[in-house]
Amino acid sequence: MNTTQLNSVITKGELLDHWQGHRRLTRRLIEAFPEKEFFNYSIGGMRTAAEMMMELIAITGPGIVEIATGKTNQLVESFEHGNKKQVFLDKWDEQTEIVNRNWDKITEERFHEKIKSFGEYEGTVHSTIFYFIDNEIHHRGQCYVYLRGLGIEPPFFPQR
């Protein structure tokens, strides 16, 4: 066990693994949806799974690049997808690499730095990253109910 581990409840590397583990689970959730229902099923007037996943994609890549570079990004929650899940899965995989690449650029010392995410949301680097992760878990949990409502078994939650 090194010094960083001794002083940290979770190290930077472990936090990346934690996030990417959640991202792998969310990817399996996208795969589990029938293509049609991914774009048109919803409950109680909520957004569709596609719209919620669009939000996550709008946040994750641009959000982490913003933290790494310090340059403000726009929150743009839509893109051309032609009602194809594959467009989402491709963007998902692209962002997995973007997260990994930019993670290396964020030093441990910066995690307590105050930032304004997307020029608007005040927090620290760590509170912002935890917000990204928690927001993903939150919306994925909602999409689990959509899958159950459709009679489909969602991916196993503890598996990352």
What gap in Å lies between CA 9 and CA 12, rounded to an integer?
10
If the CB atoms of residues 32 and 150 are measured against its own copies, the closer one turns out to be 150
Query: Sign of the CA dihedral 155, 157, 158, 160?
Result: positive
In the complex, the smallest distance separating the C-beta of residue 96 from its own copies, rounded to whole angstroms, is 19
Helix (H, G, I), strand (E, B) or coil at 119: coil
If the CB atoms of residues 46 and 87 are measured against its own copies, the closer one turns out to be 46
Q: Which span (32-40, 63-71, 85-93, 105-113) binds its own copies, by CB under 8 A?
A: 105-113
If the CB atoms of residues 82 and 151 are measured against its own copies, the closer one turns out to be 151
In the complex, the smallest distance separating the C-beta of residue 45 from its own copies, rounded to whole angstroms, is 7
In the complex, the smallest distance separating the C-beta of residue 108 from its own copies, rounded to whole angstroms, is 6
In the complex, the smallest distance separating the C-beta of residue 127 from its own copies, rounded to whole angstroms, is 8
Q: How far is CA 63 from CA 31, 153, 154, in A?
A: 24, 31, 27
If the CB atoms of residues 6 and 80 are measured against its own copies, the closer one turns out to be 6
Separation of CA 108 from chain center: 21
**Contact between 12 and its own copies (CB under 8 A)?**
yes
Task: Give me the helix-helix angle, 125-149 and 12-32, nearest 10°.
Answer: 20
Residues 34-63 that bind its own copies (CB under 8 A): 43-46
In the complex, the smallest distance separating the C-beta of residue 90 from its own copies, rounded to whole angstroms, is 25
Q: How far is CA 51 from CA 93, 112, 129, 138, in A?
A: 18, 31, 21, 14
Burial 7-41 (b: 16+ CB within 10 A, else e): eeeeebeebbeebeebbebbbebbebbeeebbbeb
**Contact between 146 and its own copies (CB under 8 A)?**
yes
Structure tokens at 90: 């491709």
**Contact between 82 and its own copies (CB under 8 A)?**
no
Q: Which residues bind its own copies (CB under 8 A)?
A: 1, 3-12, 14-15, 18, 22, 43-46, 108-109, 111-112, 126-127, 130-131, 134-135, 137-142, 144-151, 157-158
